[in-house]
Amino acid sequence: MNLEDLFSLKGRVALVTGGSRGIGRMIVEGFLAAGIERVYITARKEDELNATADELGEKVIGIQGDISTLEGCDQLVAAICDKEDRLDILVNNAGAAWGADYTEFPEAGWDKVMDLNVKTPFFLTQKLHTLLTAAASADRPAKVINITSVDGQRVNPWETYSYQASKAALIHLTRRMAARLVKDHIYVSSIAPGAFPSNMNRVARDMEDESAKGIPSKRVGDAFDMGGSAVYLASRAGDYTIGETLTVDGGIVNAHLPTHFADPAGGR
């Protein structure tokens, strides 16, 4: 056993939706460090997509499009099928959020978020099933990694109703998809990020020190944290982790003590 046997992604082809920035880009950087053969990234903004692909090198290939609709998913699948006859790794990372007061929360803010965060991962994985099974075997399974959130595991203080519901739904959907796809040697898991700097989490991006105060590890996440977690699940090291959600949050969910924590002696 050696590190390459455990974590190498040599010879594998991946697709990372929403891969031009934020958490998606961190995952792409991790895959590149692990020696991946090719990684396709998607985004709606073509200039941002091309800039990221140019910066990260020839192994990164951009496909512009909007996968919030089934038509957009079909277009992406067609583009991938034109270039590849197999897909080893799919990362369902593209997502949306919406915040509004409970009494004013709009239907548009519900449908947009639920469609992209829950509907798209299911149907995109379904539509890529042929390519995933072409890559999959008992010795080297294909991998699907859904990017969920700690907001699907606990209630946060923000009025992001559809976002929190969508991430909880995707965590459970990960388990259900895993139960079905494991027989095809396609292993489904998820990563639940905490505070990572991105356009979606502007507090972690623009107020890093302030954000870190509420995290047990006292820092926000970075590309090593996210890239390393994704490489673990995508590589041989993660082959026995199926249907699980890997929480990558510096301790927010599982190591955060209540404000008033009673010690064994009964003190405060």
Active site residues: 163
Q: E strands along 82-230, which residues?
A: 89-92, 142-147, 186-193
Burial 39-68 (b: 16+ CB within 10 A, else e): bbbbbeeeeebeebbeebeebbbbbbbebb
d(CA 174, CA 14): 18
Q: Which residues pair with 42 in a beta bridge?
A: 63
d(CA 69, CA 176): 22
Sign of CA dihedral 239, 240, 246, 251: negative
Give me the long-range contacts of 208-215 (CB less than 8 A, separation at least 24).
Answer: 214/252, 215/249, 215/250, 215/251, 215/252
d(CA 6, CA 2): 6
